[in-house]
Amino acid sequence: MRVVVVGGGVAGVSTVAALRAGGFDGDLTLVDAGEFPYDRPPLSKDYLAGSKDLEQIALQRPHWYDEQGVRLLTRTTVTALRTPDGGIELGDGTLLPADRVVLATGGGAARPPIPGAVGDRVHVLRTAEDADRLRAVLVPGARILVVGAGLIGAEAASTAVDLGCEVVLADPVAMPLAAALGEDLAAWLHGLHARRGITTLRAGIASFAETGDGVEASFAGGVEASFAGGVEPRTSDAAALGAVARAERLRAFDAVVLGVGMTPQTALAEAAGLDVDGGVLVDAGQVTSNPAVLAVGDGARTRRGPRVEHWEAAQHDGARAAATILGTPAPEPPAPWFWTDRHGRHVEVVGHMDAADQIIVRGSFEDPSFSVFGLRDGLVVAAAAVDDSTAVRAARRMIDRRIPADPARLSDPSVNVRVLLRG
């Protein structure tokens, strides 16, 4: 059997790795448009900070592909799916036959249609090239506006302030990540920005304008502000808000970073007539509406739920696609997990916090490490931890095995969290 995987992100590389690990001995090709398959999370963290280079964030060592018998075609773009017969077409017109094609095409950084959001000073962050361009302007004293305080925007803002930049972070959402972390932890995490000297604004962007002094941003709607370094993270004083709004509206930036999400890359699937709806639609085995084509990672979505944009989810998709191709049982998906690093704090989240009807705080938000558990009907459904991976691992087992939780013991940091796994 011949399998071609389109896209060398974590989903595509995981698919080929799982195929070989599962005993697949057929012809295996991985095609990627970029220089070589590398990891994306460091692009807003160590790589952007300059403490890791491109080779250090490679998903696999260069020899690995040969060792695994994977034909790796880099700097090669797939331009069409040749369905229903299978196979793909490359940019130079070459046809590669395949019995199964796996689309692992991820996506591109979203670029909202904000007037003036063009030009060299407006950045996005999805590829190493994006990070290189941005890194070049993150110099001490540079005035940086980050739009979007979700995962990537918050990490970019944190890295920029570490590099000595003067940072303004704007987001129209009152408490970014509240659904994933719960209101209190989201507020604490968002409050870290102000403590590190970042000016955070609750505001959307109406437009940008290039001036001799940089890019000016015009903020839409009411602006709610927290002041750089202030202990009081928010203010409702109308005069103060007005002053900040005016000052910020007139302020120019050396660079703008748009961290407002990603757009799934579905063009190949659409042109081939596959079902697409906010992602290439797949079943539980990652199979698209064409049985010869599977889809994995950030660009895929099951019909049952929203599209997921997390590293580990992409890896699990790859394992499931490989199981489908091998005809072996698909591994049971564990509770979803992701992490974010900012301001020197490592945050991990597992499960679905918005499904909880009870929140238990283990430790205190002032502690060096602490966690928040979400329970529903006495069972753990989610956890979010700051600098406490052990708590998250334990929570994940409680969720996956439906181990009943005792709220009193769960909230007591002197009770070893592993003991709680005994139920």
Q: Degrees (nearest 5) of the Cα angle 263, 266, 269? A: 170
Q: Which of 100, 126, 301, 320 binds ligand FAD (CB under 6 A)?
A: 126
CA-to-CA dists, residue 61 to 11, 24, 55, 58, 66, angstroms = 16, 21, 9, 7, 10
Using an 8 Å Cβ cutoff, are 115 and 204 in contact? no
Looking at residues 48 to 77 of the shown chain, list those that interact with ligand FAD (rule: CB under 6 A): 77
Quote the CA–CA distance of 420 and 423 in Å, as a whole number: 5
Q: Which of 5, 10, 180, 223 binds ligand FAD (CB under 6 A)?
A: 10
Q: Which two tokens stand for residue 1?
A: 């059997």
Site membership for ligand FAD, residue 18 (CB under 6 A): no
Among 12, 176, 336, 363, binds ligand FAD (CB under 6 A): 12
With binding defined as CB under 6 A, does residue 7 bind ligand FAD? yes
Give yes or no for a contact between 262 and 128, defined as CB atoms under 8 angstroms apart: no
Q: Which of 85, 57, 10 is nearest to 300 (CA)?
A: 10
Residue at token pair 């408490």:
175
Q: Is residue 294 a contact point for ligand FAD (CB under 6 A)?
A: no
* Residue among 77 and 289 whose Cβ is closer to ligand FAD: 77
Residue closer to ligand FAD, measured from CB, 126 or 135:
126
Using rule CB under 6 A, residue 125 touches ligand FAD? yes
Q: Binder to ligand FAD among 41, 148, 182, 351 (CB under 6 A)?
A: 41
Q: Cβ of residue 57: shortest distance to ligand FAD, in angstroms? A: 11
The pair of structure tokens assigned to 306 is: 């929203």
In this chain, which of 3, 11, 325, 335 binds ligand FAD, going by CB under 6 A? 11
**Which of 6-14, 18-26, 170-178, 206-214 is the region at the interface with ligand FAD (rule: CB under 6 A)?**
6-14
Please give the backbone phi and psi of residue 313, each rounded to the nearest 5 degrees, phi first. -60, -40
Question: x/- contact string, 224-263, with ligand FAD (CB under 6 A)?
Answer: ----------------------------------------
Q: Give the integer Cα–Cα distance in Å for 88 and 5.
A: 10
Angle, helices 151-162/183-195, rounded to nearest 10 degrees: 30
Interaction between residue 310 and ligand FAD (CB under 6 A) = yes
Cβ(359)–Cβ(389) under 8 Å? Answer: no
Q: Is 36 in the site for ligand FAD (CB under 6 A)?
A: no
Write the single-letter amino acid at 185: L
Q: How far apart are CB 7 and ligand FAD at their closest, in Å?
A: 3
> Could you give the CA distance from residue 104 to residue 13 in angstroms, rounded to a whole number?
9
User: What's the min distance (Å) between Cβ of 69 and ligand FAD?
Assistant: 20
Which helix H or strand E contains 206, and what residues bound it?
A: strand 199-211
Stretch that binds ligand FAD, among 20-28, 30-38, 50-58, 389-397 (CB under 6 A): 30-38
Instruction: Mark 335-374 with x for binding to ligand FAD (rule: CB under 6 A) and - for no binding.
Output: ---xxx----------------------------------
**Cβ neighbours, 10 Å, residue 196:** 17
Task: Rule CB under 6 A: choose which of 204, 297, 351, 363 binds ligand FAD.
Answer: 297
Q: Which residues pair with 146 in a beta bridge?
A: 169, 257
Q: Which of 201, 191, 194 is nearest to 240 (CA)?
A: 201
Q: Which residues here bind ligand FAD, judged by CB under 6 A?
A: 6-12, 31-34, 40-41, 43-44, 77-78, 104-107, 125-126, 151-152, 265, 268, 297-299, 309-312, 314, 338-340
